[in-house]
Chain A
Amino acid sequence: DQQVKQNSPSLSVQEGRISILNCDYTNSMFDYFLWYKKYPAEGPTFLISISSIKDKNEDGRFTVFLNKSAKHLSLHIVPSQPGDSAVYFCAARTDSWGKLQFGAGTQVVVTP
């Protein structure tokens, strides 16, 4: 049962422009959301997170927005850089044991 969905498998963006990645979830009990970045042949690395009591969290070029009523979150990368080319996973914390449910990922390609 896929409770976290990333409906865009890929995204191409020009260097310097904004990248917007979307994630939808179905379980209203999720209380913490994370974005991970993954390069080929490496493990995922943590990027940014947001608690369900907030609607926005910012860290440098990365901002995550949470719309609880729509069960939707998005990651904005401004400005996009070539090093941002990677697969981005959205994840949601499912319980107090820290278990995460992941979306299928979005491949981002930043072109010069």
Chain B
Amino acid sequence: NAGVTQTPKFRVLKTGQSMTLLCAQDMNHEYMYWYRQDPGMGLRLIHYSVGEGTTAKGEVPDGYNVSRLKKQNFLLGLESAAPSQTSVYFCASSYSGGYNEQFFGPGTRLTVL
């Protein structure tokens, strides 16, 4: 039982390049979330999904797109990377939106030059 996994672990991009971050969970969770963490700040929600085929915007969605084609996967895309998107990205999943915890992946450290 791997829990929540994220690929890649590290990535360096040049401004304007694109990339996709992959999140996978094997807990059969309905809900999945993408966060970013910046120095001196807590985690901020980028996008989330409440089930296969659904996505919704979080607190800081600009510059990102997401897709949830399969229940176990949640993809985060950067179409044209900017230095402001340098951050650590965490994916999380939960059984529901109710009173239960979110399980987090190990994170992806992205640097945009």
Contact = CB atoms under 8 A, between A and B. Distances in A.
Interface of A: 4, 6, 9, 32, 34, 36, 41-46, 49, 51, 89, 91, 93, 95-105
B21 interface: no
Contacts of A98: 31, 33, 94, 96-98, 100, 102
Given A4-B42, A44-B43, A105-B42, A100 B102 contact: yes
Given A46-B101, A89-B42, A103-B42, 6 more contacts: A9-B40, A98-B100, A100-B33, A101-B45, A104-B41, A104-B42
Interface string B13-48: 000000000000000000101010000111111001
8 contacts: A46-B103, A49-B99, A49-B101, A51-B99, A98-B96, A98-B97, A100-B33, A100-B45
Contacts of B104: 36, 43-45
A28 to B, nearest CB: 18
Interface of B: 4, 31, 33, 35, 40-45, 48, 50, 56, 58-59, 90, 92, 94, 96-107
A99 B45 contact: yes
Contacts of B58: 99
Contacts of A49: 99, 101
